[in-house]
Amino acid sequence: MSDAEYKNRAPDPDALVVNGVSHSFGEKLVLDNVSVAVPRGTFAVLLGPNGAGKSTLFSLITRLYDNVSGEIRILGHDVRRRPGAALQRLGVVFQSKTLDGDLTLQQNLLYHAALHGIGSREARRRAADALATVGLADRAHEKVRNLSGGQARRVEIARALLHHPGCLLLDEATVGLDIASRESVIGIVRELVQRQGLGVLWATHLIDEISETDLIVVLHKGKVLFSGRLSGFLAETGASTARDAFRTLTGIGSIEEEAA
């Protein structure tokens, strides 16, 4: 596709498209012809145990690694050909904690806003709005080290929203959280999908985080074994529950034990 054709193409209906992507570390193939599409306004669950390739896929989408095969587009922008435009439309919450505990919630967000070139006055407005969205507006001037794990995750979600992305990636965002905190975090993200029309790719090894309306993508040993809704997942495997369907498809007795 020429540059002129690229600029004049029709708007992409999907928030995220991964098409035919493979990736190796030396001779070890960790992703094998992976294709995933997340439409706008969709909560997609990327389900797989540790070692499935979830984090590698996220690293390719976010350009921590370079995809040398296939294509990755964010809101229609190819991450190799238009990395700036693509990543400007992407919000990310990684599994590892990345907030500065000695700064306040607001200071953490303002620092991130500055990295995106957002002016001071606008950054303060966006930070306040983002903290309100995750239910932490009244904690803006407290230091992050005083927060619970679930509250810190909510701040990371707020930070990921500052530049108004259309696509949001979350990598094992509820790991280490208690049940109430997990429900709070996932509830906030689902509401963002409904209210703002974000496309979300939620990587997890926890089957109970799946909802009936989600798009489910099963990644196992670097390959996509299934992509579709829960009803199709159950029908394809002849199972009565998502847990049994995953077991049938992958041969893994328990995804949680496999991920431990």
pLDDT, tens digit, for every residue of 236-260?
999 999 999 999 999 886 665 555 4
What per-residue confidence (pLDDT) applies to 180?
94
Q: Which residue among 132, 164, 196 closes a domain?
A: 164
| Domains: count for the chain | 2
- 75 in the same domain as 190: yes
What is the torsion angle, in degrees rounded to the nearest 10, for the CA atoms of residue 19, residue 24, residue 30 and residue 35?
0
> ∠154-157-158 over CA atoms, to 5°?
90
What per-residue confidence (pLDDT) applies to 252?
80
Average pLDDT rounded to a whole number, residues 148-177: 96
- 188 in the same domain as 72: yes
Q: Which residue among 164, 179, 205 closes a domain?
A: 164
Whether residue 9 is predicted with pLDDT greater than 90 in this model: the reply is no
- 68 in the same domain as 172: yes
Whether residue 186 is predicted with pLDDT greater than 70 in this model: the reply is yes
pLDDT, tens digit, for every residue of 141-162?
999 999 999 999 999 999 999 9
- 141 in the same domain as 52: no
What per-residue confidence (pLDDT) applies to 6?
46
Which structural domain range is residue 122 located in? 104-164
pLDDT, tens digit, for every residue of 10-43?
556 799 999 999 999 999 999 999 999 999 999 9
Cα separation values, 45 from 2, 31, 113, 219, Å: 34, 17, 28, 10
Tokens of 239: 């199972």
Any residues with CB less than 8 A from the CB of 27 and at least 6 apart, and which? none
Residue 143 lies in a domain: yes
Global pTM value: 0.90
